[in-house]
Amino acid sequence: MGRAVRRMRGYLGELIHRKRGELGDDLISGLIRASDQGEQLSEDEAASMAFILLFAGFETTVNLIGNGMLALLRNPAELARLRDAVVAGDEALLGTAVEELLRYDGPVELATWRFASEPLTLGGARVERGDPVLVVLAAADRDPARFAAPDVLDLGRADNPHLGYGHGIHYCLGAPLARLEARTALATVLRRLPDVRLAVEPGELRWRGGLIMRGLRTLPVAFTPEGDGSSPRW
Ligand code: HEM
């Protein structure tokens, strides 16, 4: 992992260097412009920012779509409910569905490390100044004290203050983009692949290792192609 991170940082460093000579209308150029204005981002900080945007913005959304699709495939009544709504153009259910899929099996299981700036008691546990605190977002999102029937997937769940995007000052920067991507992907799959179904037994599914991110290695599905199947319409 260390080697891969260093290579990625090297790549982004070179990219930023190259872009510096030909600024355009893209995100990295925007970061460089910001760093050129004195006290804002240094080149190193711009590389770090590009890195986190890429990682935080890609892996997360991919896994929300994968985990969300799996949750739907394993809850056929909810899948049918969402497909009917999508076909009928009911955007409201799509909105609550994406939030529920985030709560039910979101891609980010843990928040990043926090360190107590002063002593406190949290959920009955004593935390001293400087102690690390790791919040398990996935557990909070199944908290029976907060959610009615927490282990049930209810795409229309109205009272759903989940922590899938974190909380407070570090609340996810990309939440609106992630919501849009998940809505678009799920609605498109349900519309275009009416009989999509799991192609393996759930027990055969393999999850990627890692502490923070929860996602599948692959999600094998079967479906009947439209028409004669020779020219899929995408
Ligand atoms: C389903 C998709 C996503 C999920 C579940 C998700 C989840 C989260 C969570 C839980 C945090 C807070 C971490 C903490 O407090 O320790 C966070 C922060 C962040 N996310 Fe996302 N994220 C998603 C998509 C995105 C996208 C698409 C982008 C960018 C395009 C993005 C960029 C960021 C950034 C930059 C932060 C750090 C914000 C800060 O520290 O102030 N995320 N995300």
Q: What pLDDT digit, counting tens, does each position of 100-156 carry? A: 999 999 999 999 999 999 999 988 999 999 999 999 999 999 999 999 999 999 999
Tell me what the pLDDT averaged over the chain comes to: 91
Host H or E run for residue 120: strand 120-122
Token look-up 């923070």 returns 212
Residue nearest to atom 21 of ligand 1 (CA): 172
Which residue's CA is minimally distant from atom 3 of ligand 1? 60
pLDDT of residue 34: 79
Pocket test for ligand 1, best of 45, 114, 135, 172 (most atoms within 8 A of CB): 172
Cα–ligand 1 centroid distance for 42 (angstroms)? 22
* Structural domains in the chain plus CATH codes: 1-41 (no CATH), 42-222 (1.10.630.10)
pLDDT at 220: 97
* Portion of the chain with pLDDT greater than 70, in percent: 94
Ligand 1 atom with the shortest distance to the CA of 135: 16
Answer whether 194's CB lies under 8 Å from 83's CB. Answer: yes
Q: pLDDT class for 98, splitting at 50, 70, 90? A: very high
pTM over 0.85? The answer is: yes
If pLDDT is split at 50, 70 and 90, which confidence band does 171 have?
A: very high
Measured distance CA(20)–CA(18) in Å, rounded:
5
pLDDT band at residue 230, thresholds of 50, 70 and 90? low
- Report the atom number in ligand 1 closest to the C-alpha of 63: 1
Query: What's the gap between Cα 89 and its chain centre?
Result: 24
Of 52, 73, 101, give the one whose Cα is nearest residue 212. Answer: 52
Instruction: Kindly state the average pLDDT of the residues 206-231.
Output: 83
* Ligand 1 pocket check for 165: Cβ under 6 Å: yes
Of 38, 100, 18, nearest in space to 28 by CA? 18
Q: Roughly what angle, to the nearest 10 degrees, separates helices 43-73 and 27-36? A: 150
Q: Is 174 in the pocket of ligand 1 (CB under 6 A)?
A: yes
The residue among 68, 63, 226 whose CA lies nearest residue 153 is 68
